[in-house]
Structure formats: structure tokens, C-alpha cells
Amino acid sequence: MTVTLRVLGTSVTLLESLRVRAQEDLGIKLVYQVHDVQTAQRIAVMQPDSYDLYDQWFHNVDFVWPARAIQPIDTRRVALWHEINDLPKRGRLSASDRLGSGSVPSERLFVQHDGSLGSSVSERISMLPLTHNADSFAYRPERLPPGFSSADESWGWLVDPAWCGRVALQSDAAIGALDAALAVQGAGLAQFSDIGNLSIEEIDVLADILVRKQGQGMFGAFWSDDEEAAELMLHPTIDIQSLWSPTLVRLHRAGVKYRVAVPREGYRGWFGGLSLSRHAKGAVLDAAYAYLNWWLSGWPGAVMARQG
């Protein structure tokens, strides 16, 4: 009997080419449940019986682990675990590297003796680290306001009055709010002690600034997935927005002239992976581990590298 494996996630990594190839290689039936960011996150927390694997990002672990929606992954069943580098395992590639701000994977990767998550190494993990990248924003260079230069790009542009009404942001609170925080800090409107982990007071400051900006008509639209983001960039009223790599492919194919910013403040990094539903067991659990190992086999990584 053919095993059916249900994978919950977003369009970022649940690509049809991967689904077809995995079915062929593993001899299973693979069902991709593709949703926008918020919907996938909500289902992951509230309906763990509706999926077998959860494919999203490490900051989502902060929701699904306390809800007991996922079960630990046994790294002894992951053949190439030793080939995953230290970026997700220790937060840096070398001891001299600075640890990044925010939802560092290593701090929520390993299952501790008391069932919590932490950086102390163990054989059980919350999510298998797979894909990572660094994002910024894109804009239409021919519509650059007077006084702006592509040689001095800043996240602050996303809240600059010169772009008023022509800005689009990602709608997910965990991602779009971080982009907004980078913009607010880049514009000198506020300073945050740890921009990836705002205090309650800092969240209030950020919210007040954004509400005021929105009252001035700053933001023209919000998007939830790369398809919506591409449609907005093709629209004549949106000239600048936070953006993900898959959207750039769509814009390139459409012949749109755009520029991906290199912000002087740096990029917003992200790390994604796969987690096991707490309900996965028996033949389904075996198939899930086969899928985890398949993701580390080379071909899926090459596909994702081309997408960005």
C-alpha cells in the first residue's frame, strides 16, 4: 500500500517540481498543503492532525513547540545530519563570527532534558534546518525620488515620506513587522536594543509610529505571498516594497525593471526547515524521515538555490 505524506507550508518551498520528484524517488504519495504565511502557521498550531510534516521557518517553532503540535526529530535517523554546517547548529560558521539578532535557529533547535528548546546539543531537534537566505526590498529605479541614490540604500526608505502611498509591506506580523522595525530604525525614528526580539515597550513604540505613518497614507498595500508581491510590483501605484527571491523571478519574466536594495543596515536573514507533526507514527513517520533525508540528498537543495 502506498503511504500518503501530507506536508503543510507555503509557496516558498512547497514547489510542484519538488513534490513530483520526491514521489518518484521515494515511492510515496505526497500532498502539498500550500497556504499563505499566517494560515499555514495557524493550521500548524491548531490542527496538527491535518498534516504529517510542517515546512516553514524557525521563528514558527516558537508557536508550534509550546502548543505540542510537533514531535522531536531523532537526528540518528537523519543520515546526513553531520553535513549540516554550524550556522543553524551554533548560530555562526566560525567562532569569530558575530551571533545575529532575532530568532537564531540554534537557540530553539535542540530538545533539552526538560523538554524545552535550547542551544545545548542533543540528539533530538525541533526542526531539520534546510533552507536559508537574506532578504531586503526592491524598488523601481526609474521612479527614484529626487535626492535618493542607489549607492546609499536604506531600510528607512520604506517609511520615508518621499515614497508615501507607494510602499508595500509583507503582512505577516513576524516578518513584516521586522521589516517595518528595520525601516523605522533605519530612518532614525526609533532605536531597538534587539531588533529581532522587541520588548513590549518597543512594540508599542513601533506600533505607534506605523499607525501614524499609515494615517498619513504611507503604505499602499500589504502582501501575504510571493504571487501577491509580484502583482503589486507590476501595479503602477507601488514602487517600493519588501520582497522575497521567488518574486524576483516573476518580475524578471515579466520584463519589469527593478533593483534589489543592498541596505546599509544589512539584510534580514531567515532560516527554514521541516518539523514532524505529533500525530505522525508508524509507516507515515517512516515516510516522513525518508522525506527529511531526501531533502538533504542534493537535488532539492539545487532547486532551492536556483530559486533563492
pLDDT tens-digit profile of 41-90? 999 999 999 999 999 999 999 999 999 999 999 999 999 999 999 999 99
Distance of alpha carbon 273 from alpha carbon 141, whole angstroms: 34
Comparing CA positions, the residue from 55, 187, 200 lying closest to residue 131 is 55
CA–CA gap between residue 295 and residue 89 (Å, rounded): 17
Give pLDDT tens digits for 77-86.
999 999 999 9
Residue 92: all three cell numbers together: 555562526
pLDDT of residue 101: 73
Contact predicate 241/108, CB 8 Å:
no
Set out the domains of the chain in order of their start, with CATH numbers: 4-133+270-307 (3.40.190.10), 134-260 (3.40.190.10)
In sequence order, what DSSP letters do the residues of 206-275 get, joined into one string?
A: HHHHHHHHHHTT-EEEEESSHHHHHHHHHSTT--EEEE-HHHHHHHHHTT---EE---TT--EEEEEEEE
CA 89 to chain centre: 18
The pLDDT score that the predictor gives to residue 138 is: 93
- 248 to 13, 136, 261: CA distances (angstroms): 15, 12, 12
Whether the Cβ atoms of residue 290 and residue 29 lie closer than 8 Å to each other: no
Strand pairing class (219-223; 259-260):
unpaired
pLDDT at 308: 61
Q: Please give the pLDDT value at position 265.
A: 94
The residues pairing with 36 across neighbouring beta strands, listed in sequence order, are: none
Where is 62: in which H helix or E strand?
helix 61-64
At residue 235, what is the residue type?
H
Positions in the chain short of pLDDT 70: 308
